[in-house]
């Protein structure tokens, strides 16, 4: 018998930089926009997603690095880079991506759209009748809301709100010859792209950017002055909240105060049109106190998130084929809906969104619980939900019907804080017991517990998922959810809600892994068990699907597994700090990334030696494992684990279209040209359609 492989010391340079890895992820989003096999408006959509992604990256990640640099915190990243070194690399990489992003639109997408009579034009491209009509539109709808702000000794430089689109204008007094600077904010409460055609059902769809319309009428704003030049610019500000959580202060009030401060965060990026004059740029840098390294020059339109307007066009031939999520077979008998409670008494159900309908599974679970006279209590965590949430409506109905309803509303859900404050107050007014979680921790888990009286028995029904209770994103995000009446899981969720709402300090559970104490430890212990099985000569393997893989302890456990001969297969949507395929370190590890029409969002792990499948809300990141309440649950039913294995097999199929991570950090498209290519999401659509 051969001796087991020895585990070598792990090298210091064993991690990729997480921020640069994120930029690589957004580059993969951009690659979808460049992919000519994608429908044209889907490509435009990916350009819009790239733009929004990059905004958030600067508002949070770059802002955090700048804060550490400015405060003198010499905290180096896992790959040994200082904040300043990371910012320098980000600047170079981001500028390259922005130029590619703009050129993809200008040179590829825009010309193709014009072939289908969808155009974005300049003022000079319009004929006289269109100009006259748009001038009237400007006078009636735009001019009244514009406020040109002059800069002179009596008027200080105006505050520029984050992500607003602005015109920097130089005007001259024809009498004295004195030149002045003025700023005009482009309104964000009217469509960015102004439709030129009167007939909205016309075969053509021509749009004029709003800033073009305003620029063409600047003389109306500065009557009697000469307009010398005008340029578009945009500022991104630090939007990362720092709430000082004190038990003696109302968290809701503290958060509202911080949200007001967010508007005035320091600038972290200045986007300017690449045609901006040097002296205008120097003025903006000086007045906004922006470092020249934080300037991003953009060819063409700034902020291509406006392309969502084009995506809203009724042009089905330019989009993916529409599909209607199917009701999971367990919840219907022919055309007749089936009681969720009756179904779960027969066994667990695994739902896979968006292929399985959210509204006829998870949403129906909460709605039936709200309407059922035998239900005594509903307890649920809400991290993000939609503007018109049927889940919130159901909880309100349940409370008004006299049920005990507890909603843990996570006020600190980034960029959804204001919406969650609204939900919290609405639920409180209806009599729902609203709590905000634990001091110092975000509650990120996706859990619901229903307590039902059934004769002389109290039975608990549970949902634990990987995605938010949001019907809108459930049609766009790929997620997994387990619905179960398993008593041990019900006991665990009861204990967890006692932790969230009371003073319980429970750290161990029967059937769940719960962060911040249990997820990392549970994962690493199971990796070590796979290593032990490999040393015994038994079959082993680890398969992981996550959004991000950054946590050093988890990564190091995978390295040790690889050195012990355990195959490790990773599917990661976004950031990956692990270096695969490195001889002596990770030659048994493969990492691939799958992007498509749906956002791959589920987190699950399979330990093949022990044959354990776990699903839950946690990514393998410090914030998830140390500073959040996260839940992972074991899926035990063989029929359900078979479904998870089928999904894993499709993800890992050599023919599946993906990107594979190389030891040098490069993401290579796979499979190679000329090979048979499968689309994982199309395969899931086919399988779930057949099952339904």
Q: Give the Cα separation of 320 and 45 in Å (integer).
A: 11
Question: Coil, helix or strand for 589?
Answer: strand
Query: Which of 529, 530, 507, 528 is closest to 519 using CA atoms?
Result: 507
Q: Give the Cα separation of 330 and 439 in Å (integer).
A: 40
What DSSP line would sit under 78-119, residue for residue?
TTS--HHHHHHHHHHHHHHHHHHHHHIIIIIIHHHHHHTTEE
Q: What is the token pair recorded at 617?
A: 């809300």
Distances (CA, A) of 438 to 82, 94, 383, 412, 492: 32, 37, 14, 11, 18
Number of neighbouring beta carbons within 10 Å of residue 317: 8
Q: 676 phi and psi, to 5 degrees?
A: -65, 135
Number of neighbouring beta carbons within 10 Å of residue 190: 12
Q: What is the token pair recorded at 503?
A: 């003073």
Question: Coil, helix or strand for 22?
Answer: helix
328, 444, 613, 688: the active-site residue: 444
Q: 441 near 629, Cβ under 8 Å? A: yes
Q: Give the Cα separation of 600 and 115 in Å (integer).
A: 32
Q: What is the token pair recorded at 560?
A: 């040790």
Q: Give Cβ neighbours of residue 487 (< 8 Å, ≥ 6 apart).
A: 460
Question: Coil, helix or strand for 620?
Answer: strand
Query: Which of 613, 618, 589 is closest to 601 using CA atoms?
Result: 618
Q: Give the Cα separation of 435 and 455 in Å (integer).
A: 31
CA 333 to chain centre: 36
Q: How crowded is the C-beta side of 333, counted as CA atoms within 13 Å?
A: 5
User: Is 444 a catalytic site residue?
Assistant: yes
Q: What is the token pair recorded at 105?
A: 């639109």
Max CA separation in the chain (angstroms) = 97
Q: 266 near 237, Cβ under 8 Å? A: yes
DSSP tally for the chain: helices H, then strands E: 21, 29
Pairing verdict, β 446-454 and 118-120: unpaired
Virtual torsion, Cα 531, 534, 539, 540, nearest 10 deg:
20
**Residues with catalytic roles:** 444
């Amino acid at each position: 018998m051969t001796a087991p492989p020895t585990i070598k010391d792990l090298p210091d340079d064993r991690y990729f930089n997480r921020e640069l890895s994120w930029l690589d992820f957004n580059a993969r989003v951009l690659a979808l926009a460049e992919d000519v096999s994608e429908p044209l408006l889907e490509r435009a959509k990916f350009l819009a997603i790239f733009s929004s992604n990059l905004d958030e990256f600067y508002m949070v990640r770059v802002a955090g690095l700048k804060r550490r640099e400015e405060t003198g915190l010499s905290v180096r990243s896992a790959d040994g880079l200082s904040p300043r070194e990371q910012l320098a690399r980000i600047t170079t990489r981001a500028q390259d991506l922005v130029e590619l992003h703009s050129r993809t639109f200008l040179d590829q997408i825009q010309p193709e759209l014009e072939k289908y009579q969808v155009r974005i034009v300049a003022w000079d491209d319009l004929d006289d009748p269109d100009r006259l009509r748009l001038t009237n539109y400007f006078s009636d709808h735009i001019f009244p809301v514009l406020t040109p702000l002059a800069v002179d000794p009596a008027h200080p430089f105006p505050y520029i709100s984050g992500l607003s689109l602005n015109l920097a204008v130089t005007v001259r007094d024809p009498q004295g010859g004195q030149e002045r600077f003025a700023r005009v904010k482009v309104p964000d409460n009217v469509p960015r792209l102004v439709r030129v055609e009167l007939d909205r059902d016309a075969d053509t769809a021509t749009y004029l950017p709003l800033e073009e319309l305003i620029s063409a009428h600047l003389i109306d704003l500065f009557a009697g002055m000469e307009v010398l030049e005008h340029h578009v610019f945009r500022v991104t500000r630090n939007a990362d909240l720092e709430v000082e959580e004190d038990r003696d202060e109302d968290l809701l009030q503290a958060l509202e105060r911080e949200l007001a401060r967010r508007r005035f965060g320091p600038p972290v990026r200045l986007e300017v049109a690449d045609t901006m004059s040097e002296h205008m740029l120097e003025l903006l840098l000086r007045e906004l106190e922006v470092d020249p390294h934080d300037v991003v020059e953009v060819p063409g339109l700034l902020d291509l998130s406006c392309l969502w307007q084009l995506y809203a066009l009724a042009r089905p031939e330019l989009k993916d084929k529409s599909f209607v999520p199917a009701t999971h077979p367990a919840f219907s008998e022919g055309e007749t809906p089936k009681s969720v409670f009756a179904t779960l008494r027969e066994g667990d159900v695994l739902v896979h969104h968006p292929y399985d309908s959210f509204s006829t599974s998870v949403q129906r679970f909460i709605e039936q619980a709200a309407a059922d006279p035998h239900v005594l209590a509903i307890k649920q965590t809400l991290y993000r939900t939609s503007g018109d949430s049927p889940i919130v409506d159901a909880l309100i109905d349940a409370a008004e019907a006299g049920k005990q309803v507890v909603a843990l509303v996570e006020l600190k859900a980034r960029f959804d804080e204001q919406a969650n404050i609204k939900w919290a107050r609405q639920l409180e007014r209806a009599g729902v017991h609203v709590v905000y979680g634990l001091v110092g921790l975000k509650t990120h888990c996706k859990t619901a517990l229903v307590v039902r009286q059934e004769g002389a028995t109290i039975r608990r029904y549970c949902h634990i998922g990987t995605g938010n209770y949001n019907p809108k994103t459930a049609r766009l995000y790929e997620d997994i959810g387990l619905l179960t009446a398993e008593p041990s899981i019900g006991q665990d969720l009861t204990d967890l809600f006692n932790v969230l709402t009371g003073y319980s300090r429970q750290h161990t559970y029967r059937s769940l892994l719960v962060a911040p104490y249990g997820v990392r430890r549970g994962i690493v212990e199971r990796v070590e068990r796979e290593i032990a099985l490999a040393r015994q000569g038994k079959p082993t393997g680890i398969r992981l699907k996550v959004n991000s893989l950054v946590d050093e302890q988890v990564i190091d456990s995978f390295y040790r597994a690889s050195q012990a001969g355990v195959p490790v297969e990773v599917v990661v949507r976004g950031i990956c700090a692990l270096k695969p395929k490195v001889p002596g370190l990770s030659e048994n590890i493969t990492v691939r990334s799958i992007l498509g029409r749906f956002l791959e969002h589920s987190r699950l792990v399979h330990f093949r030696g022990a044959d354990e499948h776990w699903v839950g809300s946690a990514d393998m990141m410090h914030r998830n494992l140390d500073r959040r309440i996260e839940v992972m649950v074991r899926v035990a039913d063989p029929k359900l684990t078979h479904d998870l294995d089928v999904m894993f097999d499709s993800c890992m199929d050599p023919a599946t279209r993906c990107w594979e991570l190389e030891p040098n950090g490069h993401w290579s498209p796979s499979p190679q040209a000329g090979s048979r290519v499968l689309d994982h999401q199309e395969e899931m659509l086919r399988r779930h359609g057949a099952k339904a």
